[in-house]
Amino acid sequence: MFLYRHPDEDVEWHFLAPDIGAFFDDVVLGPGYPGLVDTVLGPGVRERRRRTGRHRGQPADSWLGLLVAAGLVE
């Protein structure tokens, strides 16, 4: 949308995957997820931990927590 409204602007692109299948296999369900979080939300977000409750110390990102528990991401 931004590029449509501002055709003369330079936009920084991040290549995530060659197709939708590879995107889900590598980025959403695999080791590329931390890179996706860094690209979309910024660096440092992955290191955030829950501070209270029975899940204290676990990643604040619940999807990342599931990938870590499954052994798909370190």
Q: What is the pLDDT of residues 9-65, one digit of tens each?
A: 787 777 888 999 999 998 888 888 888 888 877 778 777 888 888 888 877 778 887
In the structure, what pLDDT confidence band is assigned to residue 2 with cuts at 50, 70 and 90? Answer: low
Evaluate whether residue 4 is within a structural domain: no
Evaluate whether residue 54 is within a structural domain: yes
How many domains, in total, are found in the chain? Answer: 1
Evaluate whether residue 28 is within a structural domain: yes
Evaluate whether residue 70 is within a structural domain: yes
pLDDT of residue 46: 74
Using left for φ > 0, alpha for ψ between -120 and 50, and beta otherwise, residue 73 falls in beta
Evaluate whether residue 69 is within a structural domain: yes
In DSSP notation, 38-60 reads HHHH-TTSTT-B--SSTTTTSBS
pLDDT of residue 16: 81
Task: State the residue range of the domain holding 30.
Answer: 19-74
**Average pLDDT value for residue range 61-74:** 81
pLDDT of residue 1: 63
- pLDDT of 68 strictly over 90: no
